Chain A
Amino acid sequence: MNAARIRQKIAFLVLAIATLLIVIPILLTIFYIVKNGISAVTWTFITQSPRNGMKEGGIFPAIVGTIVLVIGTMLFSLPVGVLSAIYLVEYAKDNFFTRLVKLSVVNLSGIPSIIYGLFGFTLFVLLMKLGTSILAGSLTLAIMSLPVIITATKEALESVPFSFREISFSLGATKWQTIRYCVLPYAIPGILTGTVLSLSRAAGETAPILFTVAAFYLPRLPRSVFDQVMALPYHLYTISTQVPNMPMELSFATGFVLIALVFIMNLVSIILRAHYRKKKLW
């Protein structure tokens, strides 16, 4: 074996080891949370409110809070995100405005989550007088989720063959009819995948909800969109840093439920993708 071949063997081995050193911590992280958390995840834990300064009882209000926030986020970010992407792909001419929209999307995706928190706090909580509420939190998370939804929708729209549009136009359809009946139906899987993915990220975010919606301890369910709620990530943060003598297994169990929720959402997005890909006809 010549020197070059030996060098290749060594180099590839180094690459493999580096990859392994990334893979092992990922598996360990999941294993660590699951192993320590699963025993405390009981029916009571999932369906009951916290008691005794959060040291006993369950996390039901936090689960509900996170789900409510995710739904609220979707209601705001899905329409705006999808429509902006339609604008960029179908309507935009190459002008200053279009470039500005594109630049803004890039920018939004790079803004740190805590800045969204600050912004949501001044605009929604103070200026629009929504107070720390589900509405303010959802709007904040929605703006944060926009870039992912826009990018995913854009890719989905672009992957629909141009001939679909040409045929529709040639049959006398208007621009919107073409988009509505000949482009969007085929882009739906991509849009859904991107949306679910961005929502799963919103579900795990803490910084944007710190001052816009999250309640430290609120053992009841929200009554209106102007209520505060507990949320899983914020709950995990408070019980692991602010509550002295917190029983460890409850913290682990909260982490476990949070990870499980996020993974389930990711799984849904993967299944959606696979399901629609099978039905793809061209």
Chain B
Amino acid sequence: MFRRINEKIIESCIKLSGLLVIIFVFLIFLFLLKDSISLFGQYPIGQFLFGRNWLPISEPPKFGIVPLLLGSIYVTIGAIVICVPFGVAAAMFIAEVAPGYLKHVLKSLIEILASIPSVVLGFIGIVWLGPFLRNTFGLKTGMCGLTGSLLLAFMALPTIISICEDALVGVPRTYKEAAFGLGATHWQTLWRIILPAASSGIIAAVMLGIGRVIGETMVVMMVTGNAPVIPKSILEPLRTLTATIAGEMGETVGGSEHYFALFAVGVVLFIITFMINLVADVCMRRAKK
């Protein structure tokens, strides 16, 4: 009898934990939404979504999200353009070309990169990469979108490489053997057979990379110059959605318009990353089939 009660208690604890995970996701969205809806009671949603000025402490305040959205998009595109070719190439090298011992060394190095805290990379951006880019390319300032893109590209590499590599290794051996049997070289097989066969996984890797880049906070807050204006190019200071929340939350008064506006920015960010992860998940599942 005691056993059975015990068993029931444990079983319900286990189910409760599963339920908790759902509740957390639900609560996160609910809390963000609740506070941002409070904003739209006071501030029109159209002006929030399409406003071209983010001036939270001017009189009257303006909460146009366009400059922040563009800031995030610029930095993300920059980072993805840099890291996807390198990441996929490195994944191809590790999966197919590198001999066994080198494979281990390279994988460990990638793991080391994954474990470097983002604030450390941001610090390097401030003391070295920013000034370096300014002096090399004669920029007005080193604290700009490009510096952020480069560091974010660096940070997204482990995600992209490890998932791409899994996708490449997961291609059935028979594909390769058939190609070799027809007289294809190793490179032809890799390029024409294995890479297309792994394309779903590679797209998933890229999507997850984008998700990681768009959600990264500390690096962009430290190195992109924190200027909430519509950027003319990636070489100018800008500010992302994430950096805006992180930078301004500490200065707001709870319950103020500004406070709610930051939650609305959070909702936009949440929806963007949610979509990206959904696409990645669908691709992942297709890759597994």
User: Interface of A with B (CB < 8 Å)?
Assistant: 4-5, 7-8, 11-12, 14-16, 18-19, 21-23, 25-27, 29-30, 32-33, 79-81, 83-84, 86-88, 90-92, 97-98, 100-101, 104-119, 121-123, 126, 143, 146, 150, 174-176, 200-201, 203-207, 210-211, 233-234, 236-237, 240-241, 248, 251, 255, 258-259, 262-263, 266
CB distance from B114 to the nearest CB of A (A): 9
A contact residues around B89 at 8 Å (CB): 14-15, 18-19
Sample 10 A-B pairs with CB under 8 A, ordered by A number.
A8-B187, A21-B86, A22-B87, A30-B116, A107-B25, A174-B7, A237-B222, A258-B120, A259-B120, A262-B116
Tell me whether B135 is interfacial, beta carbon within 8 Å.
no
Q: How far is the CA of A15 from the CA of B87 in the complex (A)?
A: 10
Q: What mask results when residues 67 to 83 of chain B are scored 1 for a CB within 8 Å of chain A, else 0?
A: 00000000000000000
Q: How far is the CA of A106 from the CA of B106 in the complex (A)?
A: 27
In the complex, what's the smallest C-beta–C-beta distance from A176 to chain B, in angstroms?
Answer: 5
Inter-chain contact B92/A207, CB cutoff 8 Å: no
Q: Is the CB of A8 within 8 A of B188?
A: yes
Bound complex: CA of A176 vs CA of B11, how far in Å? 8
**A206 and B217: CB pair below 8 A?**
yes
Contact call A8/B22, Cβ cutoff below 8 A: no
Q: Which of B57-65, B171-179, B227-235, B266-274 contacts A (4 or more CB under 8 A)?
A: B266-274
Q: Is the CB of B115 within 8 A of A263?
A: yes
Q: Is the CB of A19 within 8 A of B106?
A: yes
* Structural contact, A8 and B185, CB atoms closer than 8 A: yes
Contact A211 B249 (CB under 8 A): yes
Q: Number of B interface residues at 8 Å Cβ cutoff, please give it.
A: 84
Scan residues 181-231 of chain B and give those whose CB is less than 8 A from a CB of chain A.
185-188, 191, 208, 211, 214-218, 222
Assembly CA distance A106 to B281 (angstroms):
8
Q: Are B27 and A29 touching (Cβ within 8 A)?
A: no
Chain B residue numbers with a CB within 8 Å of A90 are 14
The docked-state distance in angstroms from the alpha carbon of A12 to that of B188 is 11
* Interface SS majority for chain B: helix
Contacting B127 at CB < 8 Å: which of A121, A251, A258?
A: A251
8 closest cross-chain pairs (CB), A and B? A112-B215, A204-B117, A110-B277, A18-B89, A83-B17, A8-B187, A87-B18, A207-B217
Q: What are the residues of chain B within 8 A of A12 when measuring CB–CB?
A: 93, 97, 187
Nearest chain-A residue to B226 (Cβ)? A241
Residue of B nearest to A256 (CB): B120
Contact of A88 with B18 in the complex, beta carbons under 8 Å = yes
B13 on the A face (CB < 8 A): yes
> How far does the alpha carbon of A262 sit from the alpha carbon of B185 in the complex, in Å?
43
Indicate whether B289 reaches chain A with its CB closer than 8 angstroms: no
Is B85 interfacial (CB 8 A cutoff)? Answer: yes
Contact of A114 among B7, B186, B217 (CB under 8 A): B217
The distance in angstroms between the C-alpha atoms of A118 and B22, with both chains bound, is 18
Q: Give the distance in Å from the alpha carbon of A79 to the alpha carbon of B273 in the complex.
A: 27
Contact (Cβ within 8 A) B15 A87: yes
Residues of B within 8 A of A4 (CB): 185, 187-188
B273 proximity list for chain A (CB < 8 A): 110-112, 115
Contact between A110 and B116, CB atoms less than 8 A apart = no
Cβ of B55 within 8 Å of any chain A Cβ, yes or no, is no
A126 to B10 CA separation, bound complex (whole angstroms): 32
Q: How far is the CA of A266 from the CA of B111 in the complex (A)?
A: 9
* Inter-chain contact A115/B112, CB cutoff 8 Å: no
> With a CB–CB cut-off of 8 A, which chain B residues contact A5?
185
Task: Given A106-B277, A115-B266, verify A237-B119 contact (CB < 8 Å).
Answer: yes
Digit string of B231-245 for contact with A (CB within 8 Å is 1, else 0)? 000000000001001
